[in-house]
Structure 1
Amino acid sequence: MKITLLGTGTSQGVPVIGCTCEVCRSVDYRDKRLRVSVHLEVDGKSIIIDSGPDFRQQVLRERITKLDALVFTHEHKDHTAGLDDIRAYNFLQRKDMPLFAEERVLNQLKQEFSYIFSDYKYPGIPQVQLHPITNTPFEVEGILFTPIRVMHYKLPVFGFRIGDFSYITDVNFISEEELDKVRGSKVIVLDALRHEPHISHFSLQEAVEILQELKPEKAYLTHISHLMGLHREVEEMLPDFIHPGYDGQQIEL
């Protein structure tokens, strides 16, 4: 498995528009964060989790010329707004794009991208196949995904485990039952917004405590705010096996 962090930033990204803080003015490429997303290459299949507003920029940057499916964690705009750009893959691959998400999320996509689902199909619109998922394992192009139910304040969100890799973003609570699904993962990518507590995201300390309990071989933080501080400084304060993720980072499993 090859994992590429397409984006590791918050809903506003980093730098934040109009902000002149040290992080937003940084020239370190690791401090430039697009909206959160991840690309998986598994057994010849190409799968992306979440298509945020920066989807087009991300797939061009990583030269992703093949995409077999899109999987969604939840319906927030910073995770879905780039859906229209799958049109290019429809054209290249000459087939509909499979979308995997909870029924609630699929219904939200139908509202926000109503033209895709209208009775009258305008030429050139995205072509999709909808695959509702629940909190039970499912297959994406023959690849087994195990959903991990987490809470994003009061909104239910899915993380996913694929083999020895677990990916959880936009979370401030994970039950012990769901945490058990993550145990034994060799690599974990986990939400860590900032140092201070937040109503809907893990703080740095909360994320570190969970990762120290789970003890993966490697862990990477995502959904990082400019309030977290400079990448190089955050790296220095973390345990050896935990790293702040950065856009374009590749992990082999």
Structure 2
Amino acid sequence: MSCNECCSSNGISNGVGSGKGSSALIFIGTGCSSGVPTPMCLMQPSDPPCEVCHKAMSAPPEINPNYRCNPSLLIDYDGENGDHCYILIDVGKNFKEQVLRWFLHYKIPQIDAIILTHEHADAVLGLDEIRGVQPYNRYNDIEPTTIYLNQFTMDSVTVKFPYLVQKKLKEGQEIRRVSQLDWKIIENSCERPFNVAGLQFTPLPVMHGEDYESLGFLFGKNNKVAYVSDVSRFPDATEYVLSSSGGGQLDLLILDTLYKKGQHNTHFCLPQSLEAVKRLQPKRALFVGMTHEFEHYRDNEELAEWSKREGIDVQLACDGLRIPINL
């Protein structure tokens, strides 16, 4: 059973809106920063063993919705001229694995642009691996991939990857094969949208812990999509933009959900995620960022019951899920 089939069998329609056009959203990763399975659950198994981590190893990841890589979304945007533009949100620790698994499966030929939500490891540590999806040239004389990020993330990336930011060689410095990137600074403001290949993105500042601001993004003219992978609280301005009474009803809300119970200081857990869905009233919501507490099939059955009660379609996403959408 493919990931699309397994998600569909649990109540997720793979289409959003009218279905016109041939754009799509592909969930390259839907797990937490450490991913699922958790190595320690396998190295030193408990008694009884961790159910989800063992299930994550019971079948190949391509057909196993309990195997989850770092959060990442690929937007396959079919523009007005019919040319496809491939826009990736975040390149985390599992980036190469995700490319080899899902880009090949869906025959994705290139990455045209990358948007970063923040500078944590699960969002940026794949930047070095972008060279693997760029044309080979021993002199690095190739068209760079555009990266959209805020100034705080840019400052952090400059420390983490100085060789990806530096443009001119110092005297005596050898040419090395590294990712070729073109950095574009965006603002932490709902009032400062930016354009990628004709698709407009609105930054959504959110709290990722009370001492840290991350970004989500709102995009889509025909069908409105919000992607918020790392959030512990919505500032009032951001929540207003996402609400039905503010910016208009969302067709799809993709939202952070770390643990099944309780609360966390830097992420929504399931109770806060469901409460946010009730407040924002999207037509549909998909959760990402899950730990090994979530068993895909069983928890989607429970969410299907919640959806019937509340009148909003809510499910866990899974790695490899592809949703056709009219953007």
Shift of residue 197, structure 1, vs aligned partner: 0.7
One-letter identity of the residue aligned with 2:318: Y
What is residue 101 of structure 1 aligned with on the other side? Answer: 149
Q: 2: distance between equivalents of 1:159 and 1:73?
A: 6
Deviations for 1:95-138, whole angstroms, at most 9, x for unmatched residues? 10101000110111111111223342633211111100002101
After superposition, where does 1:1-253 map in structure 2 within 5 Å?
1-19=23-41, 20=45, 21-26=50-55, 27=58, 29-43=64-78, 44-62=84-102, 63=104, 64-91=108-135, 94-118=142-166, 119-120=168-169, 122-134=175-187, 135=189, 136-153=192-209, 154-163=211-220, 164-183=224-243, 184-194=249-259, 195-227=261-293, 229-238=294-303, 239-240=306-307, 241-253=313-325
Identity percentage over the alignment? Answer: 30
SS, match of residue 2 in structure 1: strand
Shift of residue 156, structure 1, vs aligned partner: 0.4
* Root-mean-square deviation (Å): 1.6
Q: 2: distance between equivalents of 1:14 and 1:88?
A: 24
SS, match of residue 155 in structure 2: helix
Deviations for 1:171-222, whole angstroms, at most 9, x for unmatched residues? 0000232012223110110001012211111110110111122222221000
- Report how many aligned residue pairs link the two structures: 252
Q: Normalising to structure 2: TM-score of the pair? A: 0.74
Q: 2: distance between equivalents of 1:83 and 1:137?
A: 24
Q: 2: distance between equivalents of 1:67 and 1:117?
A: 19
Q: Which structure is larger by alpha-carbon Rg, 1 or 2?
A: 2
Q: 2: distance between equivalents of 1:172 and 1:155?
A: 10
One-letter identity of the residue aligned with 1:141: A
The runs of at least 4 aligned residues of structure 1 exceeding 6 Å deviation read none
Shift of residue 45, structure 1, vs aligned partner: 1.0
Q: 2: distance between equivalents of 1:4 and 1:92?
A: 26
Greater percentage in strand: 1
Structure 1 gap ranges (5+): none
One-letter identity of the residue aligned with 1:179: E
Shift of residue 92, structure 1, vs aligned partner: 6.2
Q: 2: distance between equivalents of 1:61 and 1:73?
A: 23
SS, match of residue 123 in structure 2: helix
Q: 1: distance between equivalents of 2:315 and 2:152?
A: 33
Structure 2 gap ranges (5+): 1-22, 79-83, 244-248, 308-312
Q: 1: distance between equivalents of 2:279 and 2:34?
A: 30
Shift of residue 74, structure 1, vs aligned partner: 0.2
Do the aligned residues in 1 keep the contact of 2:110 with 2:134 (CA within 8 Å)? Answer: no
Q: 2: distance between equivalents of 1:191 and 1:207?
A: 7
Deviations for 1:10-33, whole angstroms, at most 9, x for unmatched residues? 111000012141111113611100
SS, match of residue 237 in structure 2: helix
Please, which moves more after superposition, 179-188 or 32-41? 179-188
Q: Normalising to structure 1: TM-score of the pair? A: 0.95
